[in-house]
Structure 1
Amino acid sequence: MNSWAQRSIDIANNGNYLDQLKAIYRIDIPGMRDIDPELVREIAIAHSKKDARNVFIKSLDLPVFPIEHPYVAFIRYDPDKFIKLNPQVVEYIGNAILALRIDEILLLGAKAKRPVKRYGQAFKSWLLSLPYRKLDIPQFSTVSLGSNEIVICDESDQEYEDFANSQLRCGLVKAPDLLLRKGDKYILGEAKFLSDLGGGQDRNFSDAMDMVNNHNGNAHRIAVLDGPLWLNGPDRNQTRGVRNTNADVMSALVLQDFISHF
């Protein structure tokens, strides 16, 4: 196992991993959505009268429909038409809403939006906050550096990709999340917060591992990964992958140490 992966495992299992990680991947939690007081009154009246049809109609105006049902999206395309044409479905779903207390309907109808997941943007903002010089492409590639001097390329993702392919001949198919120099050596990599094991997160993990295991070009490749993949216990694709590679795979929490020792 790579030593940086081992350090990442130790931190995730034995330290305040998430408390430290939130400085990098800060996720703002949105509040509940607003509901028009008049709509609240109308839903309450329909609920008190056990009016399944009307409570269904009024619930369509809530920020979030209080019952998850696949037919609701269909009806939304033309409510007036499809409510008239499908009275049994409207009655059925309306009765399911009436089975809830009025406070439950309103709570479900005002459900908060999911946190916006801008992990790549959050990582890059954190990266550029580190105590290294930041240079644009012309300076980044030409500045004279001592063997231990470190500079970060401060450019757009597209500029990252263009430089990696045209100057470093890496043959990337997507932009890296980090690009830096230490002396005359280049480091590039992908950074991902993988919120779970499996599903789409496995595909993101595979993309990162494919990148770090491809040695084309004149840059050292790393994968900066965070999430449950560092936990001891789960035997899953991600947890096995980070333990069975010699590539430089690590948590963002050890990235600065890696750069110092590179």
Structure 2
Amino acid sequence: MNHWLGLSIEYANQRSYLDDLFHVYPTIPDGIRNVDADSWQRVEAAFDARDNVALLETLFAFDLFPIKDSYVAYLKRDRGAIARNPATVARLAGRLYEMGLGKIYERCSEPKETNRQIGPLFRRWLRSQALGVPPVRMEEFIATSDNAILDAGDAEMLRFAREHLNYRHHKGLDFVARFNGRYVIGEAKFLTDFGGHQNAQFQDALSTLHAVGVDAVKVAILDGVLYIRGRSGMYESLNGPLADENILSSLVLREFLYQL
């Protein structure tokens, strides 16, 4: 097995993995969503008047609609469908009246889901100099041959990899660095559970490892449930076809980079 993959599995199963990982992914929910006072007054007026159309139209303008229903997205994207489908509108409005204004407000102001906040956290962690060097902008990254981490947006990272590292894969990158004269590229994922979307995220990160002809070391910086022994197809694949790949936890990334 790849040394760094084995070390990551050992870390996750024998040390304070989650406590330490919280420094990388401090998934504390944001504060409640802001609900515009004027918009909320219109909600209250429509609610009190039992104006189904006005109630839906006003709530559609909020970041979060207060009920989950398979027909809501359609109505939000085709407002003309509201007039054509009075029974659906009445059904949704009935659920809202049943909830009451207090519950509607509570739902509309709920924090963002934690898994939707994870994306920027890895790069924020890099900016803390956890890897021993501060990330730098493109001009400085290109101008020197020193150890460095590229601090850039998705498009800029992808462009650098294509122009300088012969990266032809369609996937974007979360990590571009240079250590001991060698370039390193990869994606970073925090897999919080087993199942459909998380499995897709797992495969997404692995696809970068399979890009051919790249003038860089390719890594998949993965954390989460995939390291739990014997609990999923993810773990089985780590001990099977993926055993020799550069798959590693962010918590051993620093050591990996300095030994290149």
TM-score bin, normalised by smaller chain: 0.7 to 0.9
Say which SS state the counterpart of residue 68 (structure 1) adopts. Answer: coil
Q: What is the rounded CA distance, in whole Å, between the counterparts of 1:123 and 1:106 in structure 2?
A: 32
Residue pairs, 1:1-262, within 5 angstroms:
1-27=1-27, 29-30=29-30, 31-34=32-35, 36=37, 38-39=41-42, 41-42=44-45, 45=48, 53-54=50-51, 57-58=54-55, 60-62=57-59, 63=62, 64-76=64-76, 77-78=78-79, 82-83=82-83, 86-115=85-114, 117=116, 119=118, 121-128=120-127, 129=129, 130-132=131-133, 135-140=140-145, 151-154=147-150, 156=152, 157-158=154-155, 160-214=157-211, 216-236=213-233, 238-244=234-240, 245-262=243-260
Identity %: 27
TM-score, length-scaled by structure 1: 0.72
1:189, distance to aligned residue in structure 2 (A) = 2.4
Q: Deviation per CA, 1:212-237, whole angstroms, max 9, x where unpaired?
A: 2456344322211112212224222x
Considering only aligned residues, what root-mean-square deviation do their CA atoms show, in Å?
3.5
CA contact (8 A) 2:53 2:82 kept: no
Q: Deviation per CA, 1:86-125, whole angstroms, max 9, x where unpaired?
A: 4433433333333335433332343334458465543234
Q: What is the rounded CA distance, in whole Å, between the counterparts of 1:250 and 1:220 in structure 2?
A: 13
Q: What is the rounded CA distance, in whole Å, between the counterparts of 2:210 and 2:72 in structure 1?
A: 46
TM-score, length-scaled by structure 2: 0.72
Q: 1:119 to 1:113 in 2, by over 3 A?
A: closer
CA contact (8 A) 1:55 1:98 kept: no
1:139, distance to aligned residue in structure 2 (A) = 1.3
CA contact (8 A) 1:136 1:153 kept: yes
Say which SS state the counterpart of residue 148 (structure 2) adopts. Answer: strand
Which blocks of at least 5 consecutive residues in structure 2 are unaligned?
A: none
Say which SS state the counterpart of residue 132 (structure 2) adopts. Answer: coil
1:253, distance to aligned residue in structure 2 (A) = 0.6
Q: What is the rounded CA distance, in whole Å, between the counterparts of 2:82 and 2:162 in structure 1?
A: 54
Which blocks of at least 5 consecutive residues in structure 1 are unaligned?
A: 47-52, 144-150
CA contact (8 A) 1:160 1:176 kept: yes
1:14, distance to aligned residue in structure 2 (A) = 4.0
1:15, distance to aligned residue in structure 2 (A) = 3.5
2:132 maps to amino acid: P
Greater CA drift, 33-42 or 219-228: 33-42
Q: 1:241 to 1:60 in 2, by over 3 A?
A: same
2:98 maps to amino acid: A
Say which SS state the counterpart of residue 99 (structure 1) adopts. Answer: helix
1:250, distance to aligned residue in structure 2 (A) = 0.5
Say which SS state the counterpart of residue 229 (structure 1) adopts. Answer: helix
1:11 maps to amino acid: Y
1:183, distance to aligned residue in structure 2 (A) = 2.9
